[in-house]
Amino acid sequence: MNLQFSGNFRVIDDPEPTETIGQWRIINYGEPSLSSASAGFLEERTLVSSGATPFEFKDSYSKGSICFVTSGTSSFTNVEIPESPWFITDRINRIIVFPKRVRLPKEMTWAYREYVELPQTNIARQFNPVFQRIGKLARLPENWDSYGARPVCKNSISRGVILLKELIELRSTIGFEIPVPFVAPLSSGGIQIEWEKGEKYLELSITSDPPTVEYFAADKVKEGQLTLEGSLRSASGLKELISWFVNGSAEDLAHFTFEESPEASIS
Amino acid sequence: MSAEEILNEDELYRRFPDVFWLRDDGRISSAAFQNTPNTDDMSVDLARLTTPQKTAAVYPGCGVASFLAELPRKLGQQVLHDPIPTNSAHSNVRGKKTKPIRKKLAEGSKVVLLSTNLK
């Protein structure tokens, strides 16, 4: 079985489903190795064949609604049949679930089992230049900024790639688009990932000495600019920050309930 | 050469590799405003003693951003002329560059020269 990219669609040649549940087919494929991640997201094409593990399926298009849950490779509860293909990742297995015949939302009106659009496909393609850019940062020499900058360390690169991949995975659970960030090298040997839209600003800086991911968020309030800084220690913190940046308000930023104990100030 | 007084109205040039620190929207990343590793100083050039071309020429692939000396001073930084044998315009913006300070410096800077304009 081979996965290929074609236009907006990820094409599955000769799919042999790991399992069939009624009119649904399930295909698992493996997590790319970390070492190949910085070379590009397309490395995900590597396939493994393994049985379905217990997981929850969520409809990737309408956020949050759990349609059915498998508790093993053979038993399942069918609550609702969605019209679009589903995609889920549980960090170990990436699983595509699609009906034998599926309606696609955009260019194609109908597609058969060979043509399945995954919600992840578009965001992966959008993020591909970011991964490629990070790959280039790994090759920067000493003094690349002319002011004595250190080379970007491999740890920062790896952690940056992991963080970006977590963002892509978040897309399947939070139900809205995650804007593509700008990635910049830091002269200290780290990397900075930043987003800016209107008055909102979000920055994640990854350093290896000490090994931390720090965040800095800013938004405009009546009294001036509200800023929030701290160390990011969990995926839930990342989710909160991104959710705020995409959909939140300055008031949300002021009332963050982070486990990271952020420091907020108005300047 | 003796150090000169830098006035608030003085323009400062900051050299930066634009391929890494110039965003797609034309703004400069706050990453461009960091201190030299293991120091409290960020190097700049005093504009009235040099040109953007001279500032950029030191290293290939660099553009030049400018801001007024008043900006870092309002952020609690010192701005000091520090001429060196190879660069009489060399100056320092001294003080810890926290994330909010780097962001303000980025917001208050404008690009005056791109590396592509030097080719």
CB atoms within 10 A of CB B56: 25
Residue of B nearest to A188 (CA): B37
How many H-runs (helices) and E-runs (strands) does chain A carry? 5, 18
Q: In Å, how far is B99's CA from the nearest CA of chain A?
A: 7
- Kindly provide the ipTM of the predicted complex, given to two decimals: 0.92
B99 and A203: CB-CB below 8 Å? yes
B103 and A182: CB-CB below 8 Å? no
Residue A99 or residue A4, greater confidence? A99
Task: State the Cα–Cα distance between residues B93 and B75, nearest whole angstrom.
Answer: 11
Under the banding of pLDDT at 50, 70 and 90, the label for residue A175 is low
Does B115 contact chain A (CB < 8 Å)?
Answer: no
- For A27-43, the pLDDT digits (tens) are 443 333 333 333 222 22
The answer on pLDDT for A211 being more than 90 is: no
A184 and B27: CB-CB below 8 Å? no
Structural domain spans, chain A:
2-117, 122-266
Segment A179-186 shows an average pLDDT of 94
The answer on pLDDT for A215 being more than 70 is: yes
Q: Among A75-84, A117-126, A248-257, whose mean pLDDT is lowest?
A: A75-84
Query: Counting beta carbons within 10 angstroms of the beta carbon of residue A223, is it exposed (0 to 12), middle (13 to 18) or buried (19 or more)?
Result: exposed
Structural domain spans, chain B:
11-114
Under the banding of pLDDT at 50, 70 and 90, the label for residue A68 is very low
Nearest to B37 among A150, A182, A214 (CB): A150
The answer on pLDDT for A5 being more than 50 is: no
Provide the terminal-to-terminal Cα distance of chain A, rounded to the nearest Å: 57
Q: Among A98-107, A138-147, A166-175, B36-45, whose mean pLDDT is lowest?
A: A98-107
> For residue A257, what are its two tokens?
């309930």
Residue of B nearest to A183 (CA): B20
A182 and B29: CB-CB below 8 Å? yes
pLDDT at A101 (0 to 100): 40
Under the banding of pLDDT at 50, 70 and 90, the label for residue B119 is low
The answer on pLDDT for A12 being more than 70 is: no
Residue A128 or residue A104, greater confidence? A128
- Which residues in chain B touch residue A182, judged by CB atoms under 8 angstroms apart? 23-24, 29
Percentage of chain A exceeding pLDDT 70: 47
Which H, E and C letters describe A116-158, residue by residue? ECCHHHHHHHHHHHHHHHHHHHCCCCCCCCCCCCCCCCHHHHH
Which residues lie below 8 Å from residue A158, measured CB to CB, with a gap of 6+?
A: A34, A38
Does B36 contact chain A (CB < 8 Å)?
Answer: yes
Residue of B nearest to A134 (CA): B20
B31 and A185: CB-CB below 8 Å? yes
Task: State the Cα–Cα distance between residues A81 and A21, nearest whole angstrom.
Answer: 12
Segment A69-84 shows an average pLDDT of 33
Query: Counting beta carbons within 10 angstroms of the beta carbon of residue A78, is it exposed (0 to 12), middle (13 to 18) or buried (19 or more)?
Result: exposed
DSSP per-residue string spanning A167-236: HHHHHHHH-S--PPPEEEE-TTS-EEEEEEETTEEEEEEEEETTEEEEEEEEEEETTEEEEEEEE--SHH
Q: Among A60-74, A174-188, B26-40, whose mean pLDDT is lowest?
A: A60-74
